[in-house]
Amino acid sequence: MAMNAQALARVMDADHMVSESWLMEKITGVRSRGADTTASLVGSAVIDDLAALAIRLTDRAPIEASKIAGGAFTLEQAAHKLGVGVRSIQRWRRLGLISMRFQFARVCCVGCAGEAIAWFESQHADMLCKVKHASPTHHARQRLLAQARLVADSGSTLNASAVALARAEKISTAIARRALQQLEKSGSIAPFKRRIVVNDAKAAMAWRSWMRGIDLNTIARRVGQTRTSVLRTIAKQRRQRIHASTPPVIALPTFGRADAAQTLLAPLEVRQQLAHGLWPRQPREFLEKFAPVAQARKNTVNTDAMQLTALRFLLWRAASGARIQWDDLDHRETDLRWAARIYLSLIQRSIGQALGRLQAIAEQPLGSLDQVRICEAIHIALASVCAVLNQSLRAAPGDRPIRLGALAAVHAEKTAVKNWKSRLPPAPGERAELPPSLQSQCLAWLSVAPLRDDLSQLPAPACAGRDLLGLRYGWQGRAPQAMNDAAMKLGIHPRRAAIMAARTLRELVRMNAQ
């Protein structure tokens, strides 16, 4: 039946109408009963269906290549025989050159029968003369290599030399690049420079300019590169900062699962306001925000374990992989933002218990102490909480329940017994103030992302862009989504959404730089 379908496709006219019963009779050899009432089909559609039918019939029962008159050829062999590409062979099935699946010794692959190729050459000789690529002569090949040596002596890059050689010899850039690579591999010419190397000073200048929100074309003119090279340089700078700031963690066995992001990213009490702006600078304001407590909450154990697992997963995913695609870097920075929120949430849940233990050691409320002693207590509590969190991330996960507040309190008690009680009392009237950015002391990856999560700085006309960025990068407590999904939710075109996102990002970067 496959051979009948192939023979029928040769005689079929694409512009004529054929009867369905006549078609079935030609393929199967059986005449239909309702031959007079069958519908008519278009010839071009019938040829496509015959080609698909030949493939479907020979999928489960391949034809032996040795039993075909004239032999059988694979698609690559047929393309080489006709002097064209494989895509041309697949496209010419509408002209009757139907491919089927053949059995070549122990290999089964798609190919064309030898008689079908001979028939196609006789029927479409004029078309083959136009599309067939003639093999270059020995003299033409030597002339091309000689010209390639002259172009290579200019000291340019491989791509620039290939373009110059293609223009001089009036050939394609791919053929010129292959000729240059052949000379380079044989050692006839010196190795080409594949890419313009940017020194550290220019890379740092491109990074600072991009952080300030300067236009990409302006950065390219300053650095002396193309837009693509500048984006590649900035991507390398972003990747270096991500790897330098991401702490090493021990992964769970479930991190290899495809649904790890859905099963582990479920923090219940992620306080976003801690990741925005500065913490209280006055010690008493800090104590009001993080009040010392003696007893932990009832759901502390379960919530701490879940948030610690999510934090471990985010930091592991941000540090894994070596690709430098722009979207991958965006996702890694988004993971670090979520990790910052969860980390600060764990600090908020645990620091109160550590301050409560220090208050018990002082035998009086911390608010009644001197400013210097309050600052010392806050620093001891913060250092204890961060040490316990980092130790939990570096240690192998176990089945025992995790009580971060209790562990931080024990660590703070040990530190206070060694250092705090032995110090001299502060001088009367001495004042102290907390540093303006306590997050930077507790968090190394908070300042990795070039943009802050606080989108309230944007003016009112940019509310649509603010919502778009919130959906795209997972800001304001939302999970990151693709640009097409975010545009669909807002009811705008994806191209318009991309332009709006770029404009809003540029405006937000400039406002943060100011």
Residue 212 has pLDDT above 80, yes or no: no
Report yes or no: 487 and 493 within 8 Å, Cβ to Cβ: yes
Query: In degrees, to the nearest 5, what angle opens at C-alpha 189 toward C-alphas 183 and 191?
Result: 95
Q: What is the pLDDT of residue 453?
A: 45
Q: What's the full length of the chain, in residues?
A: 514
- What whole-number distance in Å separates Cα of residue 494 and Cα of residue 486? 8
β-pairing, 107-113 vs 72-74, is antiparallel
DSSP 208-226: HHHHTT--HHHHHHHHTS-
Under the banding of pLDDT at 50, 70 and 90, the label for residue 452 is: very low
Among 71-80, 108-117, 186-195, 273-282, the range scoring the smallest mean pLDDT is 273-282
- What whole-number distance in Å separates Cα of residue 489 and Cα of residue 501? 14
Mean pLDDT of the chain: 76
| More confident position, 206 or 454 | 206
Under the banding of pLDDT at 50, 70 and 90, the label for residue 252 is: confident
Report yes or no: 344 and 352 within 8 Å, Cβ to Cβ: no
What are the tens digits of pLDDT across the range 161-204? 888 888 888 787 878 888 888 888 887 887 776 655 667 888 88
- What whole-number distance in Å separates Cα of residue 315 and Cα of residue 509? 25
What are the tens digits of pLDDT across the range 303-329? 777 778 888 888 887 877 655 566 677
- What whole-number distance in Å separates Cα of residue 116 and Cα of residue 71? 10
Across residues 401-420, what is the average pLDDT? 85
Q: What is the pLDDT of residue 100?
A: 81
CA separation, residue 394 to residues 83, 270, 399, 438, 472 (Å): 61, 22, 16, 23, 31
Q: Long-range CB contacts (< 8 A, 24+ apart) of 107-110?
A: 108/62, 109/74, 109/75, 110/55, 110/74, 110/75
Residue 266 has pLDDT above 60, yes or no: no
- DSSP 8-state assignment for residue 157: B
Residue 267 neighbours by CB under 8 Å, 6+ apart: 306, 307, 310, 341, 342, 345
Report yes or no: 85 and 79 within 8 Å, Cβ to Cβ: yes
Report yes or no: 3 and 112 within 8 Å, Cβ to Cβ: no
What are the tens digits of pLDDT across the range 45-76? 777 777 777 777 787 778 888 877 778 888 88
DSSP 112-128: EEHHHHHHHHHHSHHHH
Residue 380 has pLDDT above 70, yes or no: yes
Q: What is the pLDDT of residue 459?
A: 54
- What whole-number distance in Å separates Cα of residue 176 and Cα of residue 158? 10
Report yes or no: 350 and 307 within 8 Å, Cβ to Cβ: no
Q: Which two tokens stand for residue 486?
A: 């975010």
β strands within 114-190, DSSP E: none
The sign one gets for the Cα dihedral 447, 448, 450, 451 is negative
Under the banding of pLDDT at 50, 70 and 90, the label for residue 456 is: very low
For residue 107, give the H/E element and its range: strand 107-113
pTM over 0.85: no
Residue with tokens 């002209």: 95
Residue 14 has pLDDT above 70, yes or no: no
Distance between first and last Cα of the chain: 76
